[in-house]
Structure 1
Amino acid sequence: MKIALIEPLGVPEQTIDELSAPLKNAGHEFVYFDTKTTDPAELARRSEGAEVVMIANNPYPAEVVAGADALKMIAVAFTGIDHVGLSACRERSVEVRNCAGYSDVSVAELTLGLTIDVLRKVGAADAAVRAGKTSGGLVGTEICGKTVGIVGCGKIGCATGRLFKAFGARVLGYARHEHPEAAEAGIEQVSLEQLLAESDIVSLHLPNNDATRKSFGAEQFAQMKDGAVFINCARGAIVDNDALAQELNDDKLAGAGIDVFDMEPPIPADYALINAKNCTFTPHVGFLTHEAMQRRAKIEFDNVLAYVEGRAQNICEL
């Protein structure tokens, strides 16, 4: 069987060699491309003859899936799979496996980091010191004693809730289905309407799919408390970011911490949210820690090994 890893995984090549050794020892052909590409023709060339294609978070569009005659399984080194041509996967019965769980800690910690930055004005304080200024205008707000709303109580949402609880916050959670893990984390599961009305901080932790796309917009922002803070380390496409920019500029919201956008960075200079007031931005780095990169590489290769051995593991519902 030919297995092609068609983009880097953010780990040393030695790690790739070590993780691919069991596949090679079992007699499978393994090829590795150590550069990124978004060119469909080049993606098709790299996928040629491979029954298993391994990718990370770069797009793997439907046209490439449709043209990869030997393709049977796509191993995605990411939690979300919305960058994969899923319509073609369904049509061709191509299986998709993801690396759910690899970035739970890293995304949860960035969520807290962005929240602290917004509430304690860390970026502005740093700029003040460098400009020879004082603490004037830098009075912050504490997390302790506040109500935090977690929208999406999956593993990342629960991990985030635990961190907020450790800071002394009351944590509310909303999910379409009840999650026992949320209760174990001390998250009080309520309706979305109650969560928005009562939360001082609202943090999104939803996947991007047909049900969630643009599901958080002007109507939801209007239900939030005046002066609340909004954090998004999930998916940019879930949010109407023009509406978010308007809420910030109108001072309905006190601030926002944003790691994800409607597109991958670089973000255009005229993008409305980039020019909104009281925002802290990071360029989609929630998953990007040394530890998470090691975890996802291990899970990615474990998924491939499970596939070639006929074992079900991390199979995504398409």
Structure 2
Amino acid sequence: MKFILFSAREDEKIALESYQQKHPEIELDIYTESIDGNTMSYIKKGYDGLIASQVKAIPEAAYHLMKESGIKVFATRSAGYDMYNLKLLKELGIRLTRVPVYSPFAIAEFAFTSAMYFSRDFDIIQANAQKGDFSWQKSITSTEIRRKTVGILGTGNIGRITAEMFKAMGATVIGYDLYPNKELESILTYVSSVEELVEKSDIISLHAPATEENYHMFDAELFKRAKKNLILVNAARGSLIDTEALLDALDNNQLRAAAIDTYEYEGPFVNQTVSLDAVDDKVFLRLLKHPKVLYSPHVAFHTYNAIENLVHIAIDGAKSILLGEEVEEEVKL
């Protein structure tokens, strides 16, 4: 069984080596480059599956080359898969697997920490300190988390753990999900709509997938419903938020702050070093430089445990499909 793996990162090196040691029967050709017009020529006959992890679009010609080369399964080292051409994969008969659960604690911890950063006004404290202002003033007088209401949008594995963390701190936790989980009723109270979640929450943490239905769910109209001091955390998918509307709401003091780990058009920037002078995405630059925004480049997942799980589960999923086994991680196209 032979696989080709793209976008191998330095932080994945240990996980890849440990997998190869445990599975000498798997031949793995590893490339650090992502799949683009220049590197798709690496895809040749003899490979049974392809393992990828990238946010920028893959050329259509690369998908056709996969089919021509005999690749039967495409495995992504991520939970999300909206960045791939699902329609084309289906047409070509190439099966898709993902890693839906790799370390929900990693993302939940990141979301919780980001929310607490603003909840205790660390942004203002740091800015004041840099100016030599060490006074105790109203702008850094915080409200304890146990006095706040935290809204969780999406109460799957990550949302549940995030809710548990805030609950343990004494917060009132509410949630919204298309499919409420009765087992979580000891942790949170479900509300009937996203609008109600926004109207009642002091902090909102997003943990919903990217779908056509929730594209730009958080738009200008929804922000108008928010509490003035709302803190918004997005460690889910960038397309949940209309970024320009978010920035306008921050400028108009409709929101307190936003922690953004996923940006809708992050493909050209994530996991790369770029010259900001060469960036022509004005919305991204505005987001990056906004004093009320804590931006991070899609790193909420980035722990040693999560990286190992992403690598091992992705390769195992591809292997299992080729062996004719039922694969829970398969995406039904």
**Counterpart code for 2:77:** A
Matches within 5 A, 1:122-141: 122-136=122-136, 137-141=139-143
CA contact (8 A) 2:34 2:54 kept: no
Matched AA of 2:30: Y
Map residues 294-313 of structure 1 onto 2, 5 A cutoff: 294-313=308-327
Aligned counterparts of 1:58 and 1:273: Cα–Cα separation in 2? 19
Q: Does 1:292 align with 2:289?
A: no
Work out the number of aligned pairs and report it.
313
Whole-Å separation in 2 of the counterparts to 1:181 and 1:94: 37
1:67 & 1:305 partners in 2: Cα distance? 20
Q: Are 2:152 and 2:205, in contact at CA under 8 Å, matched by a contact in 1?
A: yes
Equivalent of residue 201 in structure 1, options 200, 203, 207 = 203
- Alignment of 1:19 with 2:19, yes or no, is yes
C-alpha contact 2:7 2:54 (8 A) present in aligned 1: no
Match in the other structure for 1:89: 89
Q: With the length of structure 2 as denominator, give the TM-score of the two structures.
A: 0.85
- The one-letter code of the counterpart of 1:159 is I
How has the CA–CA distance of structure 1 residues 5 and 117 changed in structure 2, closer, same or farther, with 3 Å as cutoff? same
Q: Which amino acid aligns with 1:187?
A: L
**In structure 2, how many angstroms separate the alpha carbons of the residues matched to 1:90 and 1:128?**
55
Give the counterpart letter for 2:302 in structure 1. L
Q: 21, 29, 32: which one pairs with 1:31?
A: 29
- The 1:156–1:166 alpha-carbon spacing in structure 2 relative to 1, beyond 3 Å, is same
User: Structure 2 CA distance, aligned partners of 1:10 and 1:57?
Assistant: 15
Could you tell me whether the CA contact under 8 Å between 1:23 and 1:30 is conserved in 2? no
Residue in 2 aligned with 1:217? 219
- Amino acid aligned to 1:315: E
Question: 1:37-76: per-residue Cα shift (whole Å, max 9, x none)?
Answer: 352331x223322221001234352512123221211111
Q: How far 1:91 moved relative to its partner?
A: 1.1
Equivalent of 2:44 in 26, 44, 48: 48
SS in 2 for 1:261: coil
Residues 1:310 and 1:81: Cα distance change in structure 2 (over 3 Å): same
Distance 1:152 1:71 in 2: 34
State the distance in 2 between where 1:207 and 1:121 align.
29
Q: What is the CA deviation profile of residues 214-242 of structure 1, one whole-angstrom value per residue up to 9, with x for unaligned ones?
A: 22211221222222111111111111111
Listed one character per residue, the Cα deviations across residues 91-146 of structure 1 (whole Å, up to 9, x for unaligned) are 11211111111131111111111111112222443344455431444223322121
Q: Are the structure 2 counterparts of residues 14 and 292 from structure 1 closer, same or farther at C-alpha, using a change threshold of 3 Å?
A: closer
Structure 2 residue ranges without an equivalent (≥5): none
Contact 1:9–1:77 at 8 Å: present in 2 too?
A: no
Mapped partners of 1:38, 1:67: distance in 2: 12
- Which SS does the other structure have where 1:74 is aligned? strand
1:311 aligns to what SS in structure 2?
A: coil
| Contact in 1 for aligned 2:15/2:312 (Cα 8 Å) | no
Q: Shift in Å at residue 21 of structure 1?
A: 4.6
CA contact (8 A) 1:6 1:46 kept: no
- Structure 1 Cα separation of the partners of residues 12 and 218 of structure 2: 39
1:295 counterpart SS class: helix
1:248 to 1:60, Cα distance in 2 relative to 1, 3 A: closer
In structure 1, C-alpha distance between the alignment counterparts of 2:323 and 2:44, rounded to whole Å: 22
Shift of residue 303 of structure 1? 1.4
Per the alignment, residue 120 of structure 1 pairs with: 120
Aligned-pair identity in percent equals: 27
Partner of 1:280: 294
**Alpha-carbon distance between aligned partners in 2 of 1:14 and 1:195, rounded to the nearest angstrom:** 42
In structure 1, C-alpha distance between the alignment counterparts of 2:154 and 2:86, rounded to whole Å: 23
Deviations 1:12-54 (A, max 9, x none): 53532331355542xx542111x13352331x22332222100
Kept in 2, the 8 Å contact 1:62–1:89? The answer is: no
Q: Quote the Cα distance in structure 2 between the aligned partners of 1:179 and 1:280.
A: 31
- The aligned residue for residue 270 of structure 1 is 282
Mean alpha-carbon deviation: is it higher for 274-283 or for 85-94? 274-283
SS of alignment partner, residue 198 of structure 2:
helix
3-state SS of 2:326 partner? coil
